Structure 1
Amino acid sequence: MANKDVEIVKSSGKRVKFSFDKLRGSLKRAGADEKTINHILDIVRDELYQGISTKEIYNRAYALLKGKETFLASRYSLKKAIYNLGPTGFPFEKFIGAILKYSGYKVEIGKILNGLCVSHEVDVLAEKHSEFILVECKFHSEEGRNCNVKVPLYINSRYIDVKQKWNGINSNKPLTEGWVVTNTRFTVDAVKYGNCAGLHLLSWDYPKGNALKDRIDRVGLYPVTVSTLLSSEEKQFLLDRNIVLCRQLIEESFMLDHLGVSENRKQKIIHEINKLCNL
């Protein structure tokens, strides 16, 4: 049986043809060189079988990258690391807020705003150059779930209500955009409605070339959950103290002392993060 005929099972349960090009692309995006990529592809090719899960393929590639360089494995695990921000979704809101902050915005999380009809708690309110954007985050902690049209429909109605009130009293500092951000993917109808309504849509893979994964990779704004050297408990400790980005951990490395991390291990963690974020 040729490799091109192998069907793999996605987390949603859907069966699709396995693509070496997609695997190569994800390994390349992680920063692996051609020799490492070809080595991993050869191993995966030998281990493919009909009905293998995407999770098995991911775990195999992740383990091989980790054996080469831990920071490569960290970059490769980005999508999973964002899922690991859950399950409440609040750390994801802080993560998006942190990304906007590093993009030059002043940010407030979980702010109550009055609408024309009712008040609303918004996930992120961001301001730059006296213009404000309202950002609503739709977080899924389970892989395979997409963001359907109901989400932008609901968020657009809230945005319009807030905007009508806001711009009536803040004409010199207007609310100019409503954003919908998700860690998964938008359905076709969600994209169609969002664009028609004038919302700014941002998902794992949308818009092409400037999606969430592209923005993170481009400026090295990785969540602390990507680290291969921190335990789950240590990551949660940091998230609880608003250390959401790896860059923040570099700036506040004393947090590792509070965790009781040895000096030797601390240096390894900092080295991994510096390599990961190109610092």
Structure 2
Amino acid sequence: MSARKNKKLKYLIRKVNRTYEEFDKKKFAKSLKAAGVSKEDTEDIVNEVYQGLEPLSSTTKIHQQTYRALKKISKVDAANYNIKRAIYKLGPTGYPFEVLCAEMFKAKGYETQVSVLKKGVNVLHEVDVVAERADGDIYCECKFHNRKYYKNDVKIPLYVHSRYLDIKEANPELKFQYALMSNTQFSEDAIAYANGVGLLLYSMNYPKKNTFCQLIQKYRIYPITALSTLRAREKKALLQRNIVVIKHLERKHLEKLGLSKNEINKVMREVKLLLKRD
């Protein structure tokens, strides 16, 4: 009996944190559904990837194969599926992630500022993002990690909440909530503590609805690292010029990178496609 016909054959997948798990078709299909892929296309891609599996593979290899397949079907679905990795590629510094977080609040109707100094009782605090709206302000701490499998433990919300208390005591007239945003995950203890003290959390795994990735899809605030028509060096050059989200990308920025007219047209077509509302 061939390996493909042996239903008991297991395919182990090496994750980014170097642990292993068995390939799960349902879990894989769920990730495609979350990216907006149609039921028919999901079935085709799941079967295609499954047929190409080796007894020992990796999440990175599966992601690459899936991303290539999705680009042929829909650049929007491909961008949605690739959001997590696109956010990781905003590094190595945390500033582009802070800009992305500010754009998230802008999409919700806030006026935003990045890197704002606020006086506390004991020390002066640099708040990563200050978002202001008539119904209340939000001060946000942005935690960017270059390691995909890094999990924010309870020490981080403890530290962020202490900053809130110091600023609040020094400015009792101000009405604001404090938020913590991360490009990785929060531990269960971190989530429990944040909920207990009223600290807002946004990450790859929290809240269950309106996660960071879902908000990017909803408001079309894709980072430039999500563009498939740009090379890695070009994305890096744009980030160095503080061009972080695709809605801020203009032809003149691409001209300065030395791209041809044809290349620029391809990039701008993709930008228009990703920004298009349903």
Q: CA deviation at 1:83?
A: 0.1
Match of 2:122 in 1: 117
TM-score, normalized by length of structure 1?
0.90
Q: State the distance in 2 between where 1:3 and 1:214 align.
A: 36
Instruction: Using the TM superposition, give the Cα deviation of residue 113 of structure 1 relative to its aligned residue in structure 2, in angstroms.
Output: 1.2
Query: Where does residue 45 of structure 1 map in the other structure?
Result: 50
CA RMSD of aligned residues (A): 1.9
Task: Give unmatched runs, 5+ long, in structure 2.
Answer: 1-5
Distance verdict in 2 for CA 1:130–1:18, change over 3 Å:
same
Q: Percent identity?
A: 36
Question: Are 1:243 and 2:213 matched, yes or no?
Answer: no
Q: Deviations over 1:177-210 (max 9, x none)?
A: 1101001111111101111111001111210111
CA contact (8 A) 2:107 2:219 kept: no
The residue that corresponds to 1:55 in the other structure is 60
Amino acid at match of 1:65: L
1:139 maps to 144
Aligned AA (1:230):
L
Counterpart-to-counterpart distance in 2, 1:213 and 1:262: 32
Q: How far apart, in 2, do the equivalents of 1:76 and 1:114 lie?
A: 41
Q: Distance in 2 between matches of 1:159 and 1:179?
A: 9
Do the aligned residues in 2 keep the contact of 1:148 with 1:190 (CA within 8 Å)?
yes
Is the 1:4–1:19 Cα contact (8 Å) retained in structure 2? Answer: no
| Matching residue of 1:266 | 264
CA displacement 1:222-253 (0-9 Å, x = unmatched): 1011011112222122223332111222xx33
**Can you give the 5+ residue segments of structure 1 that lack an aligned partner in the other structure?**
none
For this pair of structures, how many residues does the alignment match?
Answer: 272
Contact preservation (8 Å) 1:134, 1:175 = no
* Pair 1:66-2:64 in alignment: no
1:204–1:213 Cα contact (<8 Å) kept: yes
CA shift, 1:155, in A, is 0.7
Going from structure 1 to structure 2, the CA distance change for 1:51 and 1:200 (only over 3 Å counts) comes to same
Displacement after TM superposition at 1:21 (Å): 2.1
Runs of 4+ in 1 over 6 A off after TM superposition: none
Aligned residue for 1:129?
134
The TM-score with structure 2 as length reference comes to 0.91
Q: Is the 8 A contact 1:4 1:17 kept in 2?
A: no
Task: For 1:179 and 1:3, locate their aligned partners in 2 and report how far apart those are by CA, in whole Å.
Answer: 47
Do the aligned residues in 2 keep the contact of 1:92 with 1:139 (CA within 8 Å)? Answer: yes
C-alpha separation between the residues in 1 aligned to 2:233 and 2:73? 25
Give 1:27 shift. 2.1
Deviations 1:37-88 (A, max 9, x none): 2221112111234442111111111122223344432222110000000011
